[in-house]
């Protein structure tokens, strides 16, 4: 029974380290049905990741929204912010792939 429980966890339950880059990627591209289900399940049971996902959605919306330019941010500042976010997401993904 213990082995089948481990197999179930590996196939159907994401860790937060696995869910974070998946959540981020879901904002840029379509996930497979399996990935969508894994992410939705994880977000149902993990308040921290649900908060994180909400924050990255909000940050991306603000960056892409025209209101950013009216907030006094230059195009260069918006590009730097977007690059930092992109770099941090890439680092998370790279870190997870090395595990």
How many Cα atoms are found within 13 Å in the side-chain-facing hemisphere of 64? Answer: 9
8 pLDDT tier (thresholds 50, 70, 90): very low
Position 90 pLDDT exceeds 80: no
Q: What is the C-alpha separation between 31 and 25, in angstroms, rounded? A: 8
Higher pLDDT, 68 or 31: 31
Note the pLDDT tens digit of each residue in 15-54.
999 999 999 999 989 999 999 999 999 999 999 999 999 9
* Global model pTM greater than 0.85: no
Q: How many domains does the chain have?
A: 1
């Amino acid at each position: 029974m213990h082995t089948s429980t481990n197999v179930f966890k590996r196939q159907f339950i994401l860790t937060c380290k696995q869910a974070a880059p998946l959540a981020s990627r879901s904002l840029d591209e379509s996930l497979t049905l399996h990935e969508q289900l894994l992410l939705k399940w994880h977000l149902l049971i993990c308040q921290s990741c649900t908060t994180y996902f909400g924050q990255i959605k909000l940050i991306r919306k603000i960056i892409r929204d025209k209101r950013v330019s009216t907030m006094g941010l230059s195009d260069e500042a918006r590009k730097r912010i977007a690059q930092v976010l992109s770099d941090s997401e890439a680092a998370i993904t790279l870190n997870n792939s090395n595990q």
